[in-house]
């Protein structure tokens, strides 16, 4: 793993499944099928550690797409 500072995302309204799918799409997997990222969840904050130091952080739009919406009708 890299020693780069993690990207921190407030997670109180995030859909975990959507976030993991996004991370898999953005950072991918290595030759052994392991994720090229690590995620920690503490106190409703996700800390994302990409394997590559040069990896770009997730964009705000990408994070917004992971919000868990509750529709009331």
CA dihedral 72, 61, 48, 14 (to 10 degrees): 0
The pLDDT of residue 72 is 57
Q: What residue segments make up the domains of the chain, in order of their start?
A: 7-64
pTM value is: 0.83
Q: Span 20-42, mean pLDDT?
A: 94
| DSSP letter assigned to residue 25 | H
Strand partners, 50: 37
Res. 4: pLDDT tops 50: yes
């Amino acid at each position: 793993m890299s020693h780069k500072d993690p990207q921190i995302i407030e997670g109180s309204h995030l859909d975990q499944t959507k976030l993991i799918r996004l991370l898999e799409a953005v950072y991918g997997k290595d030759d052994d099928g392991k994720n090229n990222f690590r995620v920690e969840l503490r106190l409703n904050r996700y800390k994302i550690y990409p394997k590559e130091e040069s990896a770009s952080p997730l964009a705000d739009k990408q994070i917004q797409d992971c919000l868990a919406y509750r529709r009331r009708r």
